Chains A and B, each alone.
Chain A
Amino acid sequence: MIEGWMLVDGSAAGHALVLEDPLSFWGGLDPSTGEIIEAGHPQRGEVVTGRILVMPSGRGSSSSATVLAEAIRAGTAPAGIVLGEPDDIIVIGALVAAELYGVAIPVFVASPDGYATIRDGDQVSLVP
């Protein structure tokens, strides 16, 4: 049980993909494949689809909101997202996709202590 703040409601379960660095979805995620394509990102080549994506924060252009919504539309998005701090760009991308396509990807901000306990590959469940 990890304490935190559910920014976008929903249920999800999957294996954690813990990113060492924040990812800019715009220019960093290919929404047609779910692959991380950001040059120089330590986890370039990993696929986010169906994982619980865990990263310290959002990063970069507001166009990341459209890229996340686009990934959700295409079925390549993570099952859920866990952040170390709130990010309005990720929230709006997830909310818009929920409105348009009826697919709710929960977005959760974990407490610092809780965030630190999540290990790559852990089975993580997000519940409302």
Chain B
Amino acid sequence: MNSGETAVELTAGDRAWLTGEHGEGAALAMRLVVKMAEVARAPRLRDITQAHIDSCLYHGQAGLDFAERLLGGGATVAIPATLNVSSLDLLHPELVRLDDETRERAKRLMDTHVAFGCRPTWTCAPYQLPDRPGFGEHVAWAESNAIVFANSVLGARTNRYGDFIDICAAITGRVPDSGLHTDEGRRATLLLRLEGLSDELLDAEVLYPVLGHLLGRLAGSQVAAIEWLPSDTSEDRLKAVGAAAASSGSVALFHAIGVTPEAPTGESVIADGAREIVVTAADLRAAREELARVPGGAEIGAVSVGTPHASESELRRLAALVQDERPRVPFYVNTGRGQLAAVGSVADDLADAGVRIVTDTCTYITPVIGGVTGAVMTDSGKWAWYAPSNLGFNVALGSLEECVRSAAAGRVIRDEQVWA
């Protein structure tokens, strides 16, 4: 890799990183950041204030070799950095079924990232931590659901960072100045206009992962705007839209007009010549059928909620719901250790009701759910998208309340009226 000549305009500070003034590990990290800038045809690099790192999730020996090369070269993070979920649940290790060798390597990869100075947050929802980025703040986030939340709901600015490059950005504090870091890159080239949806459907929690699924299908990697969502749509519901859209598509930013902070009006965010698509209740019904085929009344063998990690308010709601209706089938909730600590005794209420709490990881990326016959129900569009291929389950989709009622009954109970 030739670091001597580049079309990217580098500062004296950038060059000092390249020549090894901050150590060999840091020089390697900067070489990769500069190369990314060349590929993106970015004119220069820019500062970031924080990073969220996904490279701590074990996918094979190469990831561990890279992290250990950086660490051996003395690299540490230059800015605050949080860590995504990994393959292990450190608080509840008995829940994850991996062979010893993989477990040992996964643990070494996690330890290496802590040694860089990253905070051991082990959550896919860093936006639920207290020091999340503010409007207009430039960050380097990995993890598709976190990226779309940061850009869309917080109005922070990040490209889709991922394996290897996320930690390089955190080590150098620099990223290519391109794409979603620029005003131009954030304008919507697709407009979804919701038409004729009943108030009941707009009020139904299950609409949001389904809408996200359809958004991902239609948008691919484009920036999209959505018109006519309720102005008081909650963060948890926007989280569900984004996570699903970043699974069925590569959506990194959507503007909900009149809801998300960058889009007070359509004019402020929609690019000239944007394509417009009308979305009806029938389109959404079809999207739900495509995403999760298991019908009402079908037997279920387990329930998994909290993908992305359950927020404090979702944990409290779940605890109240299972108080009245205890699950008869295994019921898993994924959450961050930070959220779990924040809800205090609610965690005990959940455990007392038989809910299995999974932290640090997620039930769709590492083997947790075992010995299940029948379908699995979830409230998550992302889980519904990945579980059939990752885990081989058939999936039913419902609201959190419907998941609890179904777990008590052992079969899918859901309100079909809202889709009428």
List residues of chain A with CB under 8 Å of any chain B CB: 7-9, 26-27, 31, 39, 60-67, 69-70, 72-73, 86-89, 91-93, 95-100
**In the docked arrangement, what's the CA distance between A93 and B32, Å?**
10
A63-B1 in contact given A70-B61, A100-B65 (Cβ < 8 Å): no
A69-B142 in contact given A91-B39, A95-B1, A95-B35 (Cβ < 8 Å): no
- CB-CB under 8 A from B39, the residues of chain A are 7, 86-88, 91
Tell me whether B162 is interfacial, beta carbon within 8 Å. yes
Q: Is the CB of B62 within 8 A of A100?
A: yes
Q: Is the CB of A73 within 8 A of B61?
A: yes
Q: Is the CB of A98 within 8 A of B63?
A: no
A63-B162 in contact given A73-B61, A88-B39, A95-B32 (Cβ < 8 Å): yes
| Chain A min CB distance to B174 (Å) | 15
- CB-CB under 8 A from B165, the residues of chain A are 62, 65, 88, 92
Q: Is the CB of B389 within 8 A of A89?
A: no
| Chain A min CB distance to B31 (Å) | 8
Q: Could you list 21 examples of A-B contacts with CB < 8 Å? A: A9-B1, A62-B54, A62-B142, A62-B160, A62-B162, A63-B57, A63-B162, A65-B163, A66-B63, A69-B60, A69-B63, A70-B59, A70-B61, A73-B65, A92-B35, A92-B164, A95-B35, A99-B1, A99-B69, A100-B66, A100-B69
| Chain A min CB distance to B160 (Å) | 7
Q: Is the CB of A31 within 8 A of B2?
A: no
Closest partner residue, chain B, to A104 (CB atom):
B1
List residues of chain B with CB under 8 Å of any chain A CB: 1-2, 28, 32, 35-36, 38-40, 54, 57, 59-63, 65-66, 69, 142, 144, 160-165, 250, 389
Q: Is the CB of A70 within 8 A of B164?
A: no
| Chain B min CB distance to A125 (Å) | 21
Q: CB < 8 Å: which of B62, B63, B389 contacts A27?
A: B389
Name 17 extra pairs, CB < 8 A, besides A92-B163, A98-B1. A8-B1, A26-B59, A62-B160, A64-B163, A65-B162, A66-B59, A69-B60, A69-B164, A70-B61, A73-B65, A89-B163, A91-B35, A96-B66, A97-B62, A99-B66, A100-B62, A100-B66
**In the docked arrangement, what's the CA distance between A60 and B38, Å?**
21
Q: CB < 8 Å: which of A67, A72, A88, A98 contacts B36?
A: A88
Q: Is the CB of B162 within 8 A of A61?
A: yes
- CB-CB under 8 A from A92, the residues of chain B are 32, 35-36, 163-165
- CB-CB under 8 A from B57, the residues of chain A are 63
**In the docked arrangement, what's the CA distance between A62 and B161, Å?**
8
Secondary structure of the A contact surface, majority rule: helix
- CB-CB under 8 A from A66, the residues of chain B are 59-60, 62-63, 163-164
A63-B35 in contact given A95-B1, A99-B69 (Cβ < 8 Å): no
- CB-CB under 8 A from A72, the residues of chain B are 62
- CB-CB under 8 A from A93, the residues of chain B are 163-164
Closest partner residue, chain B, to A27 (CB atom):
B389
| Chain A min CB distance to B242 (Å) | 16
- CB-CB under 8 A from A97, the residues of chain B are 62
- CB-CB under 8 A from B60, the residues of chain A are 31, 66-67, 69-70
- CB-CB under 8 A from A69, the residues of chain B are 60, 62-63, 66, 164
A9-B35 in contact given A63-B162, A66-B163 (Cβ < 8 Å): no
Closest partner residue, chain B, to A86 (CB atom):
B39
| Chain B min CB distance to A67 (Å) | 7
Q: Is the CB of B163 within 8 A of A62?
A: yes
**In the docked arrangement, what's the CA distance between A66 and B105, Å?**
15
A63-B163 in contact given A70-B61, A99-B28 (Cβ < 8 Å): yes
- CB-CB under 8 A from A63, the residues of chain B are 57, 59, 162-163
**In the docked arrangement, what's the CA distance between A61 and B365, Å?**
13
Closest partner residue, chain B, to A7 (CB atom):
B39
Closest partner residue, chain B, to A89 (CB atom):
B162
- CB-CB under 8 A from A87, the residues of chain B are 39
Closest partner residue, chain A, to B159 (CB atom):
A88
- CB-CB under 8 A from B1, the residues of chain A are 8-9, 95, 98-99
Closest partner residue, chain A, to B55 (CB atom):
A66
Q: Is the CB of A96 within 8 A of B59?
A: no
Closest partner residue, chain A, to B176 (CB atom):
A88
Q: Is the CB of A67 within 8 A of B32?
A: no
| Chain A min CB distance to B257 (Å) | 29
**In the docked arrangement, what's the CA distance between A94 and B60, Å?**
15
- CB-CB under 8 A from B163, the residues of chain A are 62-66, 89, 92-93
- CB-CB under 8 A from B162, the residues of chain A are 61-63, 65, 89
- CB-CB under 8 A from A39, the residues of chain B are 389
